Each structure stands twice: as structure tokens, then as C-alpha cells.
């Protein structure tokens, strides 16, 4: 399947610089691309490849100024990374057409409601009063509990488990092995040292355009809802506890753990392996660096945090500069102590 650069430029609102008649048949990394491929350049450290790439075309930012001759045709856009992502989405639609139909064996309760053009993979179980929106795809070995509501154009990959009463919005993606709505970690200590289970009676509500990675777990609320707001992107192996609220368009990397009842603002970014204590409030547009541990509220918006316990990023850099010098400082202190003893 081939496309002209004119078609791609129209899709991306791009300006063509070079041969507009080039035909494109594939997308590729700039360092691996061949004739007929289109690549992109967004990160400056990959700039050397644009002078040697065999790609027929490269998507670049409008302000990119080459330092030497470039053989590929350039497509200039406002944001090369975003434009290439858009192109990949369109390319994916062409090579991966949506599945349709009900495979057998599977079980769909007679009181479940299944919309039009839905795909249900083999060995999937859809419980009583579950509702599945039109054009949704449910891959094999998925369990959907009682009264679960799933919106339109959502993809549920193989092995996902969605417990009763949970709500999934439109245009969501839930990757293989994720568990939505399992019990929150609620136990009351008793005088004899044992723990009494606290029933988890709430649910999980996932709004529209949310992506959830493989083997991520989102616990149901004790009461009310654990809420994942629209546009949130969650990586693989993330644990979100009961009654947590994740604000719109927040991005969470792999192996993050968020304890119960914490409220995360909109447009936040958490690096890998961040740990967040329970009952905290985190403002909008907060970035927390990888492997940080947060134990206090963050009330100021648009701030950066790092460390365990996490502190403001600028303070962290100043503290770390001192930390690196500790062996040298210790050595000098030991020398001074020895001299004092000799005197």
C-alpha cells in the first residue's frame, strides 16, 4: 500500500520541502529507514541520522535548520513527534482492521446488552446486566462482571478481568492481564493482633480516552468510586489503590504505586517506580521523577519533585551535589581528627 507525500502532508498539515511526488509505503526509525519509508526527527540527539538516512521523507519541526545537505524530502510541521504519532495511528488503522463477530466458545448472559459491530473473542465471559457499547472489541479470555458498563470503540485485550459494577468509558484501551475493580487493601486491626476485612462496596469508574497498560491493577473503592478521569495514560504494572482519584491527562509510568484515597491533579507526570502514600493531595501539573517516594501533599501547581522522600527538584540537585562530596568531606574530617589527636 503506497501513499503520496501530498496525501500525508494534507493529513499532517505539513509543508513539503523537496520532491512532493515521492511515494511512501512504510514508516520506520530514522536510523533504520530505507527507500520508500517515512521517518521523523524530534530529539536533537538523533540529528546526525538525518544526513545519512535512506528514508524517502522525514518529518521535522518547522524551525529545524540542517547543518549540511539532506537527501530526504522534509515535511515541516509544528511538532514532529505529535505529527508522526498521528501518522502511526492512521497507518495502524489500515494494517489492523477491527475484528467483528462473536467467537465460540464464549458465554454472554441473556440479560447482557451487546451493541452493534462488537467483537467478542473465544472463552470470554460476559455476566448478567453487563452493557457493551458499539464497535467495542473484547479479546479472548476476558471476564466482565455483573452490571459492568463498557462504552463504544473501546478495546479490551486478552485476559483482562473487570469486576462487577465497574464503568469503562468510550475510546479506552485496556491491555492484557489488567485487573479492574478487585478489592481494595482494607483491613481493620483487632485487639488480638488479627485483621478484620473491611468490605469494599464501591467500584472503579474509568472515563473516556484512557489507556491502561498490561498487568496494571486498579482497586475498587471502599465506598463510592476509584476514579480515573478522561485522557489518563497508565503504563504496565501500575498499582492504584481504593478511592484514588487520577486527574485528567495525567501520565503514569511503569511500577508506580499509589496508596488509598490519594487525589492526583490533572496533567501530572510520574516516572517509573514512584511510590505515593495514602490520603495525599497532589496539585495539577506536578512532575515526580523516577523512584521517588512521596509522603506529603503537593499544593503548588507546575512543580517538579525528586528523591525519597521527594523534595523540590532544585533542592534535590543542591542536596545531591553535597551528597556526592560526602566521601571527600569524610576523608578530610578524618585527617583533621588525626592531626588534632597527634597535637
Residues with catalytic annotation?
242
Instruction: Supply 40's cell numbers.
Output: 521523523
Q: In angstroms, what CA-CA distances link 15 with 18, 33, 54, 124?
A: 10, 21, 20, 47
SS (H, E, C) 106-126: CEECCCCEECCCCEECCCCEE
Distance of CA 107 to the CA centre of its chain: 31
Cα dihedral value 250, 256, 257, 260, nearest 10: 0
Which of 207, 212, 21, 173 shows the shortest CA–CA distance to 89? 173
CA atoms of 10 and 143, how far apart (whole Å): 42
Instruction: Supply 162's cell numbers.
Output: 473487570
Grid cell 518547522 is found at 62
- Per the CB < 8 A criterion, the answer to whether 19 and 38 are in contact is no
Q: Please provide the size of the chain in residues.
A: 343
Amino acid at each position: 500500500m503506497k501513499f503520496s507525500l501530498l496525501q500525508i502532508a494534507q493529513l499532517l498539515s505539513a509543508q513539503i520541502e523537496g520532491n512532493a511526488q515521492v511515494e511512501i509505503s512504510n514508516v520506520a526509525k530514522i536510523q533504520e529507514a530505507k527507500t520508500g519509508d517515512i521517518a521523523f526527527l524530534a530529539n536533537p540527539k538523533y540529528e546526525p541520522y538525518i544526513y545519512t538516512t535512506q528514508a524517502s521523507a522525514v518529518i521535522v519541526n518547522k524551525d529545524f535548520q540542517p547543518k549540511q545537505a539532506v537527501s530526504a524530502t522534509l515535511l515541516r510541521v509544528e511538532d514532529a513527534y505529535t505529527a508522526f504519532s498521528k501518522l502511526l495511528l492512521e497507518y495502524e488503522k489500515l494494517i489492523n482492521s477491527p475484528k467483528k463477530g462473536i467467537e465460540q466458545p464464549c458465554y454472554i448472559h441473556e440479560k447482557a446488552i451487546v451493541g452493534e459491530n462488537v467483537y467478542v473473542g473465544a472463552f470470554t465471559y460476559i455476566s448478567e446486566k453487563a452493557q457493551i457499547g458499539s464497535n467495542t472489541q473484547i479479546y479472548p479470555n476476558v471476564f466482565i462482571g455483573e452490571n459492568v458498563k463498557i462504552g463504544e470503540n473501546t478495546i479490551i485485550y486478552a485476559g483482562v478481568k473487570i469486576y462487577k459494577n465497574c464503568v469503562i468509558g468510550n475510546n479506552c484501551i485496556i491491555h492484557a492481564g489488567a485487573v479492574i475493580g478487585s478489592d481494595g487493601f482494607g483491613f481493620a486491626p483487632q485487639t488480638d493482633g488479627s485483621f478484620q476485612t473491611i468490605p469494599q462496596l464501591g467500584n472503579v469508574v474509568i472515563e473516556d480516552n484512557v489507556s491502561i497498560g498490561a498487568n496494571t491493577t486498579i482497586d475498587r473503592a471502599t465506598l463510592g468510586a476509584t476514579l480515573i478521569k478522561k485522557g489518563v495514560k497508565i503504563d504496565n504494572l501500575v498499582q492504584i489503590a481504593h478511592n484514588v482519584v487520577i486527574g485528567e491527562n495525567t501520565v503514569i509510568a511503569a511500577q508506580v504505586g499509589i496508596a488509598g484515597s490519594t487525589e492526583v491533579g490533572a496533567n501530572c507526570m510520574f516516572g517509573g517506580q514512584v511510590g505515593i502514600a495514602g490520603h495525599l493531595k497532589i496539585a495539577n501539573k506536578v512532575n515526580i521523577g523516577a523512584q521517588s517516594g512521596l509522603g506529603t501533599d503537593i499544593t503548588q501547581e507546575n512543580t517538579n519533585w525528586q528523591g525519597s522522600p521527594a523534595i523540590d527538584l532544585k533542592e534535590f540537585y543542591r542536596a545531591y551535589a553535597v551528597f556526592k562530596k560526602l566521601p571527600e568531606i569524610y576523608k578530610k574530617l578524618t585527617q583533621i581528627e588525626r592531626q588534632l589527636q597527634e597535637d
